[in-house]
Chains A and B, each alone.
Chain A
Amino acid sequence: MKPGSGWRLLAPALLLLLIAFVVPVGMMVPTSLRPYVPLVGITGGFTARHYTRLVTDSYYLEIIGRTLALGLTVTCATLVIGYPVAFFLARTRSRGRNWLTILVVFPLMLNLVVRTFGWIALLAQNGLVNQALQALGVVDGPVKLLFNFAGLLIGLTHIFLPFMVLVLIGAIQNIPRDVEDAARVLGASWGSAFLRVTLPLSAPGILSGSILVFVLTISALVTPRLLGGPTYQVMSTLIYDEFLSRLNWPAGSAQSLLLTAMVLALVYLSGRLARRAGARA
């Protein structure tokens, strides 16, 4: 085997990464420090103004807070809804298992715009959800479910639930069934065997699934844009408007780098947490 042949095989992928990812993202750093004058454009000199505004202006703080709140609630919702499903799929021996898994994967493979479009039809003023709620007598008039927190929460929970389920299936499958049986034999009730054995042993899966869903939620563009419209903004839709409508690329670059920093910090922290948990085990 010739030395260096590994690097030659890696060259196409690394070259691609360099010209279509590393350099373009790196170039956002100088752009984010340029002054921007409305109607004139990007001017010379340097300023940190785009960053200071992000952490002092209440308009931006509200959007950042909303983005994080969505990330947190969507993560909790997918975890609570998805854990029992993952538990069932990981433990069942029925022949339908693979097809049920495929049913979880199907929405994941289906176009994101299409899935979100379904929720527009469901959540609109005269949509199916409002019709059902009124028919059941739960509410008197139509409830506002689009262009607000509730709509984004429902839509994003649906979009990211399959990710959580798939990660949890993997984690629960790794727990030997015997340890649970052992706890039961030693006298633990089903509830305490689950809470004190199964749940703690699936903690690594819960951690990585939660980080994944949180990161995907705060990064999402299509669903928040379509269900939130141009008025109910999150960070990614703010960046979208900054670049395509307001043409304030320096501010958009600063927002992009802040969002990226948040994502990377989370991924890094979860990696450290997982390693510490692994070292203790």
Chain B
Amino acid sequence: MTAARVRAWLLRGWVALVMGFLMLPVVVIALASFSRTSYLTVPPRGLTLRWFAAVLGDPEYVHAIVFSVVLALVATIGSLGAGVAASFALLRRRVAGGAGVAALLNAPLVFPGVVVGVALLQFYAMVHLNGTLAGLALAHMVITVPYVVRAVTASLQGIDPELEHAARVLGASGPVAFFTVTLPLIRPGVAAGALFSFIVSFDNVPVSIFLLGAGQTTLPVKIFTAIEYGVDPSIAAVSTMLIVLTGVGLAVAERWIGFHRFV
């Protein structure tokens, strides 16, 4: 019994250590963003909010934030439409070669992001889509649709197809049955898919960085290039904002839809 006790405590200790390792960079950034110094230092010297003010007062950062949000919203709405329809078709309508189609939809996630990025760079240069919101949104949708399909399929598998059949028998048309019976039942999956899609689009660098036009930038690409120019506490401040937003978003998603089931 004692040996089992020791093992249990060793295991807990290891888990605590690894959790600490996972959180380490997050904590370091959050601390560094409050430092009065103009260089990055941990633990922070003095306390100030001026780096946060600097970020929110910088039109380049503000434009990048707005552009990223708009792009992520467009990509999310688009991929919800295409993704929900695709998962419904793959699970409820017997499509010949459905497994192949599902694998094909997932392919953009298997391919290295940088390869998708440079392939689109060349293609968009030919069809004059480079530097356009539509081009960027299409590129993002290719990598967000698989997340929607996965989350929605998980939800759809958990509900009885007979419910929709019952609605049809009672006189509802196909679309009415889908929108009034099935869609409300798979809401957690749709919500999880939307959240994944928004985050994946908002965070993307390897595809966006090749497709942005002159004067255009998304927030992560802006941070990426800022780091390449030199590290300073305003990067830590904008990072801290993202940490807080991600944390709050994840906690809310867990409360509402039991988010961890969809990961």
The answer on a CB contact under 8 Å between B210 and A243 is yes
Q: Which of B152-201 contact A (CB under 8 A)?
A: 174, 199
The answer on a CB contact under 8 Å between A121 and B3 is no
User: With an 8 A cutoff between CB atoms, is A273 at the interface?
Assistant: no
> Which residues of A sit under 8 angstroms from B174, Cβ to Cβ?
5
The answer on a CB contact under 8 Å between A10 and B85 is yes
The answer on a CB contact under 8 Å between A21 and B108 is yes
Q: How far is the CA of A128 from the CA of B113 in the complex (A)?
A: 31
User: With an 8 A cutoff between CB atoms, is A252 at the interface?
Assistant: yes
Name which of A54-62, A101-109, A172-180 contacts chain B.
A101-109
B142 touches which one: A16, A108, A114, A161 (CB < 8 A)?
Answer: A16
Q: How far is the CA of A89 from the CA of B115 in the complex (A)?
A: 35
User: With an 8 A cutoff between CB atoms, is A171 at the interface?
Assistant: no
Q: How far is the CA of A115 from the CA of B123 in the complex (A)?
A: 31
Name which of A45-53, A80-88, A196-204 contacts chain B.
A80-88
What 1/0 flags go to B111-122 for Cβ under 8 Å of A?
A: 111111011111
User: With an 8 A cutoff between CB atoms, is B133 at the interface?
Assistant: no
User: With an 8 A cutoff between CB atoms, is A120 at the interface?
Assistant: yes
> Which residues of A sit under 8 angstroms from B14, Cβ to Cβ?
84-85, 88
User: With an 8 A cutoff between CB atoms, is A98 at the interface?
Assistant: yes
> Which residues of B sit under 8 angstroms from A98, Cβ to Cβ?
254, 258, 260
What 1/0 flags go to A97-127 for Cβ under 8 Å of B?
A: 0111111111111111111011111101001
The answer on a CB contact under 8 Å between A111 and B220 is yes
Q: How far is the CA of A87 from the CA of B8 in the complex (A)?
A: 11
User: With an 8 A cutoff between CB atoms, is A253 at the interface?
Assistant: yes
Q: How far is the CA of A264 from the CA of B106 in the complex (A)?
A: 12
The answer on a CB contact under 8 Å between B121 and A121 is no
The answer on a CB contact under 8 Å between B239 and A102 is no
The answer on a CB contact under 8 Å between B114 and A117 is no
Q: Which of A106-154 contact B (CB under 8 A)?
A: 106-115, 117-122, 124, 127-128
User: With an 8 A cutoff between CB atoms, is B94 at the interface?
Assistant: yes
A117 touches which one: B12, B83, B235 (CB < 8 A)?
Answer: B235
Residue on B with the closest CB to A25? B119
B89 touches which one: A6, A87, A128, A225 (CB < 8 A)?
Answer: A6
Q: How far is the CA of A87 from the CA of B138 in the complex (A)?
A: 40
User: With an 8 A cutoff between CB atoms, is B70 at the interface?
Assistant: no
> Which residues of B sit under 8 angstroms from A107, Cβ to Cβ?
22-23, 26
User: With an 8 A cutoff between CB atoms, is B74 at the interface?
Assistant: no
The answer on a CB contact under 8 Å between B15 and A226 is no
What range describes how many residues of B lie at the interface? Answer: 35 or more
With A240-B114, A256-B114 in contact, do A114 and B85 touch (Cβ < 8 Å)?
no
How would you classify the secondary structure of chain A's contact residues: helix, strand, loop or mixed? helix
What 1/0 flags go to A210-236 for Cβ under 8 Å of B?
A: 000001001101100110000000001
A120 touches which one: B83, B209, B231 (CB < 8 A)?
Answer: B231
User: With an 8 A cutoff between CB atoms, is A244 at the interface?
Assistant: yes
The answer on a CB contact under 8 Å between A105 and B263 is yes
The answer on a CB contact under 8 Å between B95 and A6 is yes
Q: How far is the CA of A117 from the CA of B232 in the complex (A)?
A: 11
User: With an 8 A cutoff between CB atoms, is B53 at the interface?
Assistant: no
CB of A200, distance to nearest CB on chain B (Å)? 20
> Which residues of B sit under 8 angstroms from A267, Cβ to Cβ?
110
The answer on a CB contact under 8 Å between B112 and A219 is yes
CB of B220, distance to nearest CB on chain A (Å)? 5
User: With an 8 A cutoff between CB atoms, is B67 at the interface?
Assistant: no
With A82-B18, A158-B22, A190-B7 in contact, do A111 and B246 touch (Cβ < 8 Å)?
yes
The answer on a CB contact under 8 Å between B123 and A27 is yes
What 1/0 flags go to B68-106 for Cβ under 8 Å of A?
A: 000000000010011101101110011100100100110
Residue on B with the closest CB to A119? B25
> Which residues of B sit under 8 angstroms from A162, Cβ to Cβ?
22
User: With an 8 A cutoff between CB atoms, is A192 at the interface?
Assistant: no
Q: How far is the CA of A114 from the CA of B85 in the complex (A)?
A: 34
> Which residues of B sit under 8 angstroms from A119, Cβ to Cβ?
25
> Which residues of A sit under 8 angstroms from B90, Cβ to Cβ?
6, 10
Q: How far is the CA of A116 from the CA of B138 in the complex (A)?
A: 27
CB of A86, distance to nearest CB on chain B (Å)? 10
> Which residues of B sit under 8 angstroms from A105, Cβ to Cβ?
250, 259-260, 263
With A10-B85, A122-B25, A226-B228 in contact, do A113 and B119 touch (Cβ < 8 Å)?
no
User: With an 8 A cutoff between CB atoms, is B203 at the interface?
Assistant: yes
* 16 A-B interface contacts by CB (under 8 A): A9-B88, A14-B101, A17-B104, A21-B142, A28-B118, A99-B254, A112-B205, A117-B25, A122-B28, A166-B263, A190-B4, A222-B224, A239-B114, A239-B115, A253-B118, A256-B118
Additional A-B contact list (10), CB under 8 Å, known A88-B11, A121-B42, A243-B210? A17-B104, A24-B122, A28-B119, A105-B260, A111-B203, A117-B25, A118-B25, A118-B29, A225-B224, A256-B115
In the A-B complex, list the 4 residue pairs whose CB atoms are closest, starting with the nearest.
Answer: A118-B25, A6-B93, A219-B112, A24-B123
